Amino acid sequence: MNVQRRQVRENLLLALDTLRTHKFRALLTILGVLIGTATVIAVASIFQGLDQQVVEVAEGFGTRTLFIFKWDPGFHHVTREEWMRKPLTYEDALAIRESCPSVESVSAETFRWGPAVATKYKGQEMLDTNFSGPTPEQFQNINAELKDGRLFNEIDNMHRRDVAVIGADLVTRFFEGEDPIGKVINVDGKNFEVVGTLEKRKQVLGDTGNDRVVFIPYWTFKKIYPEAKDNFITALAVPGKVNQAIDEVRSLLRRRRNLKYSDPDNFGIATAESMISQFRDIMGTVVLVTIVISSIGLLVGGIGVMNIMLVSVTERTREIGVRKAIGARRSDITWQFLLEAMTLTAVGGILGILAGCTLSFLIRTFVPSLPSAVPMWSVFAGFVVAVSIGLFFGMWPAMKASRLDPIVALHYE
């Protein structure tokens, strides 16, 4: 065992000495491995950071919250069939509240389709406000945290009062150094008194849509826009009964929308967990495609390693003959060249890991909206793949070296 360890150490030192002797050639050889490994590390780090961000945002809306709409909320392309579906109604929300025992709280939110809504205050304007009318239960259902003032209540709703609760971005834009409570803002040409402001929410890729919100009471919105038909429903499940709540809501809505047993749902129910899972499915495909593309770099690097090792075998033919003449076995020669190839690609892998980690750090530093966190599995996988490239592509040159006839090798010029 000690003899084997000594031989491995000697072969490793010999491989490192060869790298030092031919630095530029070695660098060109491992460039493909370096680029491929760095790409895998960088992509994995961005995916890891995005995953953490999406989980935080989705769970920030509540792990017990059901999001119900006429199409599936989440990351997907909305089809024409989904656009043409019958809207959910306020009565659907009431039915869920009355008929689903696993649901603790229900809210309905109405809105209008159309161009972006402009919000104005003292000559300032925000053109991309998200303007809607939820029932008061909405704030509890989506974990909206009050910062200042109060949330509107059922009395405000039933009396159709012109009051509003606004998001953090509107406070920053309009009320820097000023108390927003009691001030009047103009939204889409109508005046509303600000009664409350919300805490800033976590974001994905810098998207501040959840902070550019103006909420007014449900029936106030209906008073101003009687043509608004679409409703977005949220339901808060009883703790530990999310799946039961989903089943109850689905069964109720299928009955209310007159669906046959064989008909698919013409509405969508999503949770934080389902949206996280959907995001991971999408990103998993993106990461897989990127890894396949980066593997081309590894393949090119492997071919380069094989070529350079074949050149090395030719250059060191006399050395191989001398080693065989003094007793070196075929396995000794094989492992000498295999270890040299694996050392070559391992160095490329280590440099690629350092480059990938550096790139991840730079992304995190200069593009804060694009999260980046290097997962340990990608570092381990990058190194193992790099070494495996050397093992695979170094096999042929190593076998060729081991099969050389010592007499012929000694006479090689």
Grade residue 206 by pLDDT with cuts at 50, 70 and 90: low
What are the residues whose beta carbons fall under 8 Å from the beta carbon of 62, sequence distance 6 or more? 141, 142, 143, 236, 272
Greater pLDDT, 206 or 71: 71
Q: What is the 3-state secondary structure (H, E, C) of 300-338?
A: HHHHHHHHHHHHHHHHCHHHHHHHHHCCCCHHHHHHHHH
**Same domain? 371 vs 353:** yes
**Same domain? 216 vs 244:** no
**Same domain? 293 vs 391:** yes
**Rounded-to-integer distance, Cα 333 and Cα 79, Å:** 64
pLDDT of residue 133: 94
Greater pLDDT, 75 or 341: 341
Least confident of 62-71, 189-198, 367-376, 390-399: 367-376
**Same domain? 117 vs 203:** yes
pLDDT of residue 92: 93
Least confident of 89-93, 191-195, 385-389: 385-389
Name the percent of the chain lying above pLDDT 90: 29
Burial class (CB in 10 A: 0-12, 13-18, 19+), 59: middle
**Same domain? 400 vs 296:** yes
* 117-155 per-position pLDDT tens digit: 889 998 888 888 889 999 999 999 988 889 999 999 999
pLDDT of residue 205: 61
* 308-350 per-position pLDDT tens digit: 777 777 776 677 667 767 766 777 777 777 888 888 888 888 8
**Of the ranges 30-34, 122-126, 175-179, 253-257, the best mean pLDDT one:** 253-257
Grade residue 292 by pLDDT with cuts at 50, 70 and 90: confident
The reported pTM is 0.73
Grade residue 101 by pLDDT with cuts at 50, 70 and 90: very high
pLDDT of residue 11: 66
Last residue within a domain, chosen from 229, 244, 259: 229
Last residue within a domain, chosen from 270, 290, 325: 270
Structure tokens at 23: 């630095």
**Same domain? 173 vs 263:** no
| CB contact at 8 A, 278 and 74 | yes
**Same domain? 284 vs 368:** yes
Q: Which domain holds residue 303?
A: 2-56+279-410
Greater pLDDT, 117 or 195: 195
Domain total of the chain: 3
**Rounded-to-integer distance, Cα 178 and Cα 367, Å:** 31
**Rounded-to-integer distance, Cα 393 and Cα 32, Å:** 13
**Same domain? 81 vs 152:** no
**Same domain? 127 vs 218:** yes
**Same domain? 93 vs 201:** no
**Residue among 42, 84, 118, 125 at smallest CA distance from 367:** 42
**Rounded-to-integer distance, Cα 190 and Cα 170, Å:** 16
- Quote the mean pLDDT of the chain: 83
The pLDDT of 43-53, averaged and rounded, is 82
pLDDT of residue 134: 95
**Same domain? 355 vs 388:** yes
User: Residue 413: is its pLDDT beyond 60?
Assistant: no
**Same domain? 406 vs 287:** yes
Backbone φ and ψ for 152, nearest 5 degrees, come out as -70, 155
What are the residues whose beta carbons fall under 8 Å from the beta carbon of 213, sequence distance 6 or more? 129, 130, 131, 132, 166, 167, 170, 198
DSSP β-bridge partners for residue 163:
193
DSSP β-bridge partners for residue 66:
235
**To which H or E segment does residue 112 belong?**
none
Greater pLDDT, 9 or 410: 9
The pLDDT of 257-276, averaged and rounded, is 86
Count other Cβ atoms within 10 Å, centred on residue 336.
24
**Rounded-to-integer distance, Cα 248 and Cα 227, Å:** 30
**Residue among 338, 253, 299, 250 at smallest CA distance from 31:** 299
